[in-house]
Amino acid sequence: MNGSAPLLEIKGLHVEAVLPNGGIATILDDISLTLGRGEVMGLIGESGAGKSTLGLTALGAVRGGAYVRSGEVKLDGVDLLKGGPALLRDIRGRRVAYVAQSAASAFNPAFRLIDQVIETSVQRRLMSRAQARQRAIELFARLELPSPETFGEKFPHQASGGQLQRAMTAMAMCARPDLIVFDEPTTALDVTTQIEVILAVRQAIREEGMAGLYISHDLALVAQMADAILVLRHGKMVESGSTAQVIEAPTADYTRRLIAARNLRHAPQPERPPLLELKGIAAGYGNVSIIEKLDLVVPQGRTLAVVGESGSGKSTLGKVICGLLPHRAGSLAFAGRRLEPDMHRRPLDDLRDIQMVHQNPDLALNPRQRVGEIIGAPLSRFQGLRGAARDVAVAALLEQVELKPEFAERRPGALSGGQKQRVCIARALAARPRLIVCDEVTSALDPLVADGVLKLLARLQAEQGVSYLFITHDFGAVEALADHVAVMRHGALVAAGPARQVLNPPYHPYTEALIRAVPELRLGWLDGVIAARATQTPDRRST
Amino acid sequence: MSLTDATSRPAAPSRLSGVPVMLAALFCLACLVCALGADWIAPYGEADLVAMPWQAPDLAHPLGTDQLGRDMLSRIIFGARTSIGLSLAIVTLAFMVGGAFGLAAVTLGGWADAVISRVVDLFMALPPLVLALLALSVSGTSLVTLTLVAAFIASLRVFRLTRALGVDIAARDFVDVARLRRDSTARIMWREILPNAAIPLISEFGLRFVFAFLFVASLSFLGLGVQPPTADWGGMVRENVGALNYGRLTPLVPAAFIALLAISVNLIGDYVVARRGGAR
């Protein structure tokens, strides 16, 4: 082992990929970084920036179709790119480990967790089976998993998403590697679960003295985890430096925009009469009740934000309002008239008045249709437009959502995530609705792109007076749009009222827990949380 | 996500070369020409006894003769008409019926789906050959009944595939959007679901086409398929199988044509899939 060399040194790394049409795409362009022992570096960038590719090269791996054109990846002075498969096999799992974004799909559902956690250590003969089990149990305790002695006996489906993510971290740490690559380990989790995971992971990293590459699109989160930050964009290094330097004195314009993102504020608006009223709504699937006795009001031309964790029933609420899932009890009133529970029994006008924009534009847009057909279908149905008149209307709608008219000829596959979501919004607007149900519309988008979509929604409301029922778990989006806020938990309302009342002290305890769990973009935020928790009762292990 | 070692050299872009596809297309075209113009192209009649049985290939009979002394080349050419025509009719019908019911089942859902699926399960529980024998002995053997029965049996599997593909697609949000727009069931099936299931269905078409061939051949073996003296490739393999005992390769001639057509149809199917970017 070469004592003077840094743990990981990447120099002038170029990675390219062969495209299906035979062309070449540059994925990483001249990347260099140095990581010392026990340090954590955050890799920040939007999707497609190349941050996962960079993380994988630390394991000497690339995705299929990609290859390293030039550069060095040295682990303890040994170039991984020049070593053979035997060297790479020796290093992976033992010296460098990887934690994937979705632990749920990374575990084999047919084996108990403990067997998968200790597999590498035992197979490499680093420890005996008994030693490895002991170590795994130690790690489970360190990562604050419930009843660490027996936790490993569970099968993956018996553990929650947050627990699996921590079990995967234990799997990576088990063989005492020098470096762990975390690839968006908390992106798929709720904020309250996320904070449990990052707290546990950060403490474990510090106590074990391991180095980490922490990949994320969430700058506020990375600022809590990392000693240094590298900002990537389109495969190029935009900025790198210590965390304090990058957060407090960013030099690149892109970094400044990232830091300024999520700071949209919605000015209070005068009260308006209700458009949609829910009274005592109950709904569910089969024998499972998801929503119970829910009362909500969406005012005309205003936004009601519905906030809650996954499983709180907020997406089910959207389906009930659209009539996709008929409610079992209670009543829906829209603009003074009663709404049928089942969409099939609603008059066409009711269907037109309530439109929906979904979370994942990839599932919401038919990949085989052109944008012009997608936006044109509601124009034909609700406005009876055909031929050239319809084309003109499509172009006008595209312009409203800030897309060029040429987009009408493209298919969704040729659009970026933000552009697709704009097409979904245009399709909803095509019906000239009075209410749009927005179900997590920004959660699949990168921060800057999400900001653009939020601004668009705010502008459309100001211009057209459309109301939004905005379902989200993102408090940044709530502050950007909401006039009223309803907080949901386990299918029931926890708190509801004007935004400035719900989102300011005195909070409801659950609202406060949700708000406190959102990472803030300042140094030491997580330390503050840890300190606050230390003063509370220590039994706050999450499920 | 497939990973490779960063030390490995870039893989050459794998491209479906155009040459095999061209040859496959030429072969299919030739078969089609034979099928349509058999009366003019074939040197001898379909049922004419022109030489001794199982003669080796020579100038007069480039592919030799069959077990009765009929010209093999002529029978292959006439057989193309029966075999390809029959298989094409069977598979086309099977896809129209099975596909339509499969799409209807996923689009309507609920009890309609349950009823159709259970009925299909019922028929699939019976061995296809037994089912065909039963149906043909009741309805009598003609090319029309043969086509209908074989198409029905093939449509069961097409239904299952279409339904399996469609269930996934019908659960996507854009189908909800179409429903909320009150699009008709037929429109949702045709415009929203089918285009997204088309690519696997196209490759399945090539495979089913070949199976239809073999199915007709096995029915012929039992005397319920194509009736002599009409030539069909599957039946010709069976008729001539005895030649192998005498060291003659005669049955391999129709077998080779079946294999060539099977490969060609599948190559073209794969090419269509690759061209439409179906690697998802």
**In a domain? residue A249:** yes
Contacting residues of B for A56, CB less than 8 Å apart: 3, 6
The per-residue pLDDT for A2 is 47
Contacting residues of A for B168, CB less than 8 Å apart: none
A242 and A314 housed in the same domain: no
The per-residue pLDDT for B280 is 36
Would the CB atoms of A365 and B3 count as touching at under 8 Å?
no
CA distances from A338 to A275, A276, A301, A330 (A): 11, 10, 19, 11
Tokens coding A285: 């699937």
A286 and A399 housed in the same domain: yes
Confidence of residue B1 (pLDDT cuts 50, 70, 90): low
CA distances from B171 to A7, A112, A187, A317, B167 (A): 48, 31, 24, 18, 6
Residue-wise pLDDT for B74-121, tens only, equals: 999 998 888 888 888 999 999 999 999 999 999 998 899 999 999 999
DSSP A492-506: EEEEEEEHHHHTSSS
Contacting residues of A for B191, CB less than 8 Å apart: 366, 369
DSSP B24-69: HHHHHHHHHHHHHHHHHH-SS-SS-B-S-TTPPP-SSSTT-B-TTS
Chain A residues 52-91 with CB within 8 Å of chain B: 56-57, 60-68, 73, 80-85, 88
Range B238-248 average pLDDT: 84
Chain B residues 191-210 with CB within 8 Å of chain A: 191-192, 195-196, 198
**In a domain? residue A20:** no
**In a domain? residue A208:** yes
A297 and A177 housed in the same domain: no
Residue A28: strand pairing partners:
A15
**In a domain? residue A514:** no
User: Would you call B5 an interface residue with chain A, using a CB distance cutoff of 8 Å?
Assistant: yes
Integer Cα distance of A214 and A58 in angstroms: 12
Domains in chain A, number: 2
Q: Is the pLDDT of residue B29 over 70?
A: yes
Range B203-221 average pLDDT: 81
Gyration radius from chain A CA atoms = 25
CATH code of the domain in which A182 resides: 3.40.50.300
Q: Closest-CA residue in chain A for B197?
A: A368
The per-residue pLDDT for B103 is 95
The per-residue pLDDT for B35 is 87
Confidence of residue A541 (pLDDT cuts 50, 70, 90): very low
Would the CB atoms of A366 and B9 count as touching at under 8 Å?
no
Locus of tokens 């009601």: A304
A430 and A387 housed in the same domain: yes
Q: Is the pLDDT of residue B274 over 80?
A: no
Cross-chain CB nearest to B2 (options A63, A348, A351):
A63
User: Would you call B118 an interface residue with chain A, using a CB distance cutoff of 8 Å?
Assistant: no
User: Would you call B109 an interface residue with chain A, using a CB distance cutoff of 8 Å?
Assistant: no
**In a domain? residue A16:** no
Would the CB atoms of B4 and A63 count as touching at under 8 Å?
yes
- Chain A closest-CA separation from residue B133 CA (Å): 42
A467-472 β-sheet, strand order: A354-357, A435-439, A467-472, A303-307, A484-489, A492-498
Range A216-238 average pLDDT: 91
Chain A residues 430-449 with CB within 8 Å of chain B: 431
Q: What is the mean pLDDT of chain A?
A: 89
Tokens coding B139: 């309805």
**In a domain? residue A105:** yes
Q: Report, in this order, helix, strand and coil percent for chain B, each rounded to 5.
A: 70, 0, 25
The per-residue pLDDT for B237 is 85
CA distances from A467 to A54, A334, A415, A443, B133 (A): 43, 12, 27, 20, 65
* Complex ipTM: 0.81
Cα dihedral across residues B140, B143, B145, B147: positive or negative: positive
Contacting residues of B for A436, CB less than 8 Å apart: none
Integer Cα distance of A219 and A260 in angstroms: 11
A142 and A240 housed in the same domain: yes
Integer Cα distance of A221 and A197 in angstroms: 12
User: Would you call A26 an interface residue with chain B, using a CB distance cutoff of 8 Å?
Assistant: no
A429 vs A207: which has the higher pLDDT: A429
Q: Is the pLDDT of residue B33 over 60?
A: yes
Q: Is the pLDDT of residue A169 over 80?
A: yes
Cross-chain CB nearest to A88 (options B5, B177, B195):
B5
The per-residue pLDDT for B179 is 93
A487 and A356 housed in the same domain: yes
Q: Taking a C-beta distance cutoff of 8 angstroms, is the pair A525, A517 a contact?
A: no
The per-residue pLDDT for A187 is 80
What is the share, in percent, of chain A residues with pLDDT greater than 90? 54
A325 and A402 housed in the same domain: yes
**In a domain? residue A69:** no
The per-residue pLDDT for A543 is 41
Q: Which domain holds residue A357?
A: 274-504
Would the CB atoms of A61 and B181 count as touching at under 8 Å?
no
Would the CB atoms of A343 and B10 count as touching at under 8 Å?
no
The per-residue pLDDT for A536 is 63
Residue-wise pLDDT for A56-69, tens only, equals: 998 888 887 788 88
Residue-wise pLDDT for A96-115, tens only, equals: 999 988 777 889 999 999 99
Integer Cα distance of A488 and A473 in angstroms: 10
Contacting residues of B for A381, CB less than 8 Å apart: 181-183
Cα B65–chain centre separation = 27
Instruction: For residue A135, give the H/E element and its range.
Output: helix A129-142
Residue-wise pLDDT for A375-404, tens only, equals: 999 999 999 999 999 999 999 999 999 999
The residue type of B94 is: A
Q: Is the pLDDT of residue A41 over 90?
A: yes
DSSP A421-477: HHHHHHHHHHT--SEEEEESTTTTS-HHHHHHHHHHHHHHHHHH--EEEEEES-HHH
User: Would you call B130 an interface residue with chain A, using a CB distance cutoff of 8 Å?
Assistant: no
Integer Cα distance of A203 and A527 in angstroms: 11
Range A120-139 average pLDDT: 91
User: Would you call A378 an interface residue with chain B, using a CB distance cutoff of 8 Å?
Assistant: yes
A114 vs B273: which has the higher pLDDT: A114
Integer Cα distance of A446 and A51 in angstroms: 14
The per-residue pLDDT for A540 is 46
Would the CB atoms of A61 and B15 count as touching at under 8 Å?
no
Confidence of residue B278 (pLDDT cuts 50, 70, 90): very low
Q: Closest-CA residue in chain B for A57?
A: B6
Contacting residues of B for A65, CB less than 8 Å apart: 11
**In a domain? residue A61:** no
A113 and A148 housed in the same domain: yes
Would the CB atoms of B3 and A378 count as touching at under 8 Å?
no
Residue-wise pLDDT for A18-31, tens only, equals: 876 777 889 999 99
A337-339 and A329-334 beta bridge pairing:
antiparallel
The per-residue pLDDT for A383 is 92
A248 and A293 housed in the same domain: no
Q: Closest-CA residue in chain B for A13?
A: B6
The per-residue pLDDT for A366 is 94
User: In chain B, what are the domains?
Assistant: 85-275 (1.10.3720.10)
A286 and A240 housed in the same domain: no
**Substitution target from A52, A355, A366 for chain B, most B beta carbons within 10 A:** A366
Range B254-260 average pLDDT: 88
Locus of tokens 């074989």: B150
DSSP A457-470: HHHHHHHH--EEEE
User: Would you call A360 an interface residue with chain B, using a CB distance cutoff of 8 Å?
Assistant: yes
Cross-chain CB nearest to A364 (options B15, B174, B181):
B174
A278 and A185 housed in the same domain: no
Kindly give, in sequence order, each residue whose CB lies less than 8 Å from that of residue A47, ignoring residues fewer than 6 positions away.
Answer: A217, A417, A446
Would the CB atoms of B8 and A67 count as touching at under 8 Å?
yes
pTM over 0.90: no
Backbone φ, ψ for residue A236 (5° rounding): -110, 150
Report which of A310, A312, A336, A339 is spatially closest to residue A327, judged by C-alpha positions. Answer: A339
A173 and A281 housed in the same domain: no
3-class secondary structure for A61-102? EEECCEEEEEEEEEECCEECCCCCHHHHHHHECCCEEEECCC
